[in-house]
Structure 1
Amino acid sequence: MSRGVSARLARARTDRGKAARRGAADPVKALMHRHRELCERAVDPLEIAAGLEAHGVTDRTAARFRHRDVFALAEEMYARVPRGDDDIGTTAFGRPSDVRGQDLPEVPAGWALFSLLPGLVCAAAVAGLALGTGSTRVAVALGGALAVAVALRIALRYGPLRAPTHPTSATRAWVCWLLAYALLGDGLLKGAVAGGADGPGGLWEPAVAAVLALALAVAPATWCARLFAVRARGRLGASRGLDEFASSVRPLLLGVVVLFLAVLAPLLAVSDALLGASGGGWGGGSGGASALVGAGALGALLLLARLLGVYGFTRSPALLLGAAGAAELAALALVFVGRLPGCDAVAAPVAAAVEAWGPGAVPAAACGAAALTLLVHAARTLTLASAHAGPGESP
């Protein structure tokens, strides 16, 4: 009796040893089953490589599977998926799938028209401000701000700039602060440095032209985001390796940002010229070239932050938006603290910058530095194949 039990145990150990050796002899098969959903939807080896990269598989990991790099490993995994005539529409795991896949993230029809809404609504509000007087202007300003916010929400929600996750309340708060500073900050800072009255009435000169140009720039920002998505997705299929893909997307990203700035710059100049010539002292930007540079830096910062959010990278944009907003807030605080007895030296750096380059130097420096940092970060993250492998998926 005990001899029979011993024999069965010995056979079981032998079977387990053979199974273990078979599994060890074919580690790629185990990896395919571990990432079976990735293999099911993949339409090319690079998409599998991108997915493996997103899951933390590196070239060193691929060496353990007897491959020189992640792309070579992905090529074997892709090649081992059955694709005979009898297997069309069926994955290697026996499940139906669309072998064509999806080439691009889907966006609702009419997204190009939605992107025009913020600029059109803001232009209508500015026209209402020009025609209104006294308390009517206040009502028009509040109603226009609410209408622009609704239009902006529609443009972002139903277009290529739609993010898979909603921004945090802190991110929204910093964006609102940056836009509020673009409208009121330069006039407030200029008056404070000049030693104006403590009350708000004599301090700020709303830079409506900058806000109008930024609202109009939502449309080119949306189109640039779509252009980046289309071209990057096309290069994902055409590239033969992860390094080749990154090298081809990096100049594309830089070109998209430059294209956006090339459209934003004339929008700022034309809005400043038209509203400045309209009179009234409230529409034009009296801050000079530095004010236009500051508004342009803010536009670049908002574009990069939103573009990173579209592909699921939200932490760095939130941090840098907060850093830029905090820098602007600190500049204002230093000027007002410097008006206290014996604290003149505290406000000296900000006052010197404003006197030399105008009040727009503060947002130009704060938003420009944040935008440049985000651009460097985007050049490292948005050039990863894993950021573009699955439409609508977060890396």
Structure 2
Amino acid sequence: MTTPEGGATGAVETPGEARADRAAPPRKDAAARPPRRGPADPVRMLMHRHQELCAHAVDALEIAAGLEAHGVTDRTAARFRHRDVFSLAEELYARVPRADPAAVPGAGPPPHATAPARRSRTVCVALHLLPGAVCVAAAAALASVTTATPAVRTAVGASGLVLLALAVRLGVRSGPLRLRHGTGPRTAGLWAGWTAGYAVYGDWLLGQLLAGGPDLPPTAPRAAVAPAVALAFALAPAAGCAHWFTVRGRRVLAASRGLGELAARVRPLLLAVTLLFLGALAALLLGAEAVLGGGDPLALGAAAALGVLLFLARLLAVHGFPEAAAAGLASAAALEALAPALVLIARLPGVPPVDAPVMALATTVGPAAVPAVACTAAALGLLVHGLRALTGACAHWPAPSGPAEAHRP
């Protein structure tokens, strides 16, 4: 017979058991919420993301350039437990297996490539000197038709400009001045051609406009021969200076251990190469003035400013910043076009004298003050931009894996 105490004992839980049951979480909830853990190997994600870059890199510097081109900075590298981009690139280079060079089409230099390389350098030097030779020939042709009709002189001058433009195009597409990051904006050539054409005929045109002219076709355009010849021959020292900056930049990249150190060592290089080219261009301008004569000192200064502008624009384009180069050339071309436009607008009836600044500048200093101011301002802007843009690893590697312009500060 069951006692009442016994029945009660079988139906009632002890207080300790009840607390244990309430404290124990269900097994399904525990399985549904796994514990949160951080990545044990944060670099593995970069290894998979940049597998092709790391597998085909010849050293860690190429990986560093590619990472920076994709926007990886020292601050980003700190999230991957590295002090800078170079240290992160060294780990990626050490951990990712190298790709088979035989599997890459065109890998490895062809046999007996030394002689073709020497011939290629000789051809590049000849192409860099070709614009100067064409310009001298065009100047001689103009001098031989001084007694001819204005139409003949205009035709000879136009033919010389066309041949000179073709020679310059051949020169900048070879050697150190050849673009390695695509073609860049198509309008860059237009702005460069405008600024160069204004250096040859701009002073004459502005003087004619201020005097109420020009009376075309009876009046033939008068070209500034000495600055044109000096600028044409300046393509050769521009190529030499660009080559020197490229070689020294890669050496600095190889010796630097961080982006800060790289920037601090590249900035003096850019200033030095700019001054080196300016000195070579000044020597060419003074030599052309001594031989050909007729060189206004202000016009020579404007030509020097234009030469530095064109050199900095090409240097930025070669190292992966063609948009900035085109913007600098466009700003100079716009300022040069504004001066004659204001003179023509002021001739309209009822329009206030909007050409007063141009008139005052040309009367006080001379017509060459317009290109001098425009090119100097644009060259200083490109120099300031270059001191910031050319301090990255991606600007000093032959073939970075991404566009550098979009990721610069």
* TM-score bracket for this pair, using the shorter chain length: 0.7 to 0.9
- Structure 1 window deviating more from structure 2 (357-366 vs 146-155): it is 146-155
| Structure 2 letter corresponding to 1:79 | A
Classify the secondary structure of the residue corresponding to 2:303: helix
Say if 2:162 is the partner of 1:175: no
Question: For the Cα contact (< 8 Å) 2:75–2:84, is it kept in 1?
Answer: yes
Give the AA of the match of 1:386. Answer: C
TM-score w.r.t. structure 2 length? 0.79
Q: Is 2:249 the counterpart of 1:241?
A: no
Whole-angstrom CA distance in 2 between matches of 1:64 and 1:245: 21
Pair 1:374–1:188, CA change in 2 (3 A): same
Residue among 65, 72, 75 paired with 1:50: 65
1:59 and 1:69 in contact (8 A); partners too: yes
Deviations 1:322-380 (A, max 9, x none): 11111111111112223445646311111111112111111111111111101111111
CA contact (8 A) 1:265 1:296 kept: yes
CA distance in 2 between partners of 1:344 and 1:358 (Å): 23
Q: 1:114 aligns with which of 127, 134, 159?
A: 127
TM-score of the two chains, using structure 1 as the length reference: 0.81
Aligned positions of 1:53-68 closer than 5 A: 53-68=68-83
The equivalent position to 1:125 in structure 2, one of 138, 147, 158, is 138
What secondary structure sits across from 1:115 in the alignment?
helix
CA separation in 1, counterparts of 2:329 and 2:217? 26
Q: Alignment partner for residue 95 of structure 1, among 97, 100, 112?
A: 100
State the match for 2:159 in structure 1.
143
CA–CA separation in structure 1 for the residues paired with 2:42 and 2:102: 25
Q: Any residues of structure 2 matched to 1:71-82 within 5 Å, and which?
A: 71-81=86-96
Q: CA deviation at 1:305?
A: 1.1
Partner of 1:387: 395
Contact 1:191–1:204 at 8 Å: present in 2 too?
A: no
**Per-residue Cα deviation, 1:124-157 (whole angstroms, up to 9, x for no partner):** 1111221234155444323322222222122111
The answer (yes or no) to whether the contact 1:114–1:154 under 8 Å persists in 2 is: yes
Report deviation, 1:253.
1.2
In 1, are the aligned partners of 2:135 and 2:160 still within 8 Å (CA)? Answer: yes
**2:238 partner letter:** A
Higher relative contact order (CA 8 A, sep 6+): 2
**Take 1:33 and 1:341, find their aligned partners in 2: how far apart are those partners?**
69
Give the secondary-structure state (helix, strand or coil) at the position aligned to 2:355: helix
- Which residue is equivalent to 1:335? 343
Task: State the shift of 1:301 in Å.
Answer: 1.1
Distance in structure 1 (CA, Å) of the matches to 2:183 and 2:164 = 19
Residue from 320, 326, 340 that aligns with 2:334? 326
Offset, 1:31: 1.2
**Of the candidates 161, 165, 170, which is equivalent to residue 154 of structure 1?**
170
The 10-residue stretch of structure 1 (213-222 or 145-154) with the greater mean CA deviation from structure 2: 145-154
Trace 1:1-395 onto structure 2 (pairs within 5 A). Answer: 24-81=39-96, 92=97, 95-96=100-101, 108-110=120-122, 111-133=124-146, 134-135=148-149, 136-164=152-180, 165-199=182-216, 201-202=218-219, 204-276=221-293, 284-285=294-295, 288-340=296-348, 343=351, 345-391=353-399, 395=404
- Supply the AA of the counterpart residue of 2:177: L
Distance in 1 (CA, whole Å) between partners of 2:50 and 2:302 is: 47
Aligned to 1:336, the other structure's residue is in SS state helix
SS at match of 2:354: helix
Taking the aligned partners of 2:352 and 2:266, their CA distance within structure 1 comes to 49
The more displaced of 322-331 and 264-273 is 264-273
Residue by residue over 1:215-253, the C-alpha shift from the partner in whole angstroms, topping out at 9 and shown as x without a partner, is 011111111111111111122112222221221111111
Offset from partner CA, 1:62-117 (integer Å, 9 cap, x none): 23222233233223223335xxxxxxxxxx1553479x999xxx994321222111
5+ residue gaps, structure 2, are: 1-27, 110-116, 405-409
Gaps of 5+ in 1: 1-9, 82-91, 277-283
Question: Which whole-Å deviations, capped at 9, do the CAs of 1:275-315 have from their partners, x for residues lacking one?
Answer: 23xxxxxxx34xx2221111111111111111111122111
Residues 190 and 220 of structure 1: is their aligned pair in 2 closer, same or farther, counting only changes over 3 Å? same
Distance 2:82 2:184 in 1: 40
Q: CA RMSD, aligned part only?
A: 3.0
Which letter maps to 2:39?
A: A
Query: Cα gap change, 1:173/1:200 in structure 2, threshold over 3 Å: closer, same or farther?
Result: farther
For 2:187, give the aligned amino acid: A
Indicate how the Cα distance of structure 1 residues 310 and 372 shifts in structure 2: closer, same or farther if over 3 A, else same.
Answer: same
Say how many residue pairs are matched: 357
- What CA distance in whole angstroms lies between the structure 1 residues aligned with 2:99 and 2:317? 35
- Report % sequence identity: 53
Greater Cα offset, 120-129 or 200-209? 200-209
Asked if the contact 1:191–1:203 (Cα under 8 Å) also holds between the matched residues in 2, the reply is no
Paired AA for residue 160 in structure 1: P
Distance 1:370 1:76 in 2: 42
Distance in 2 separating the partners of 1:200 and 1:167:
38
Say which SS state the counterpart of residue 176 (structure 2) adopts: coil
Secondary structure of 2:242's aligned partner: helix
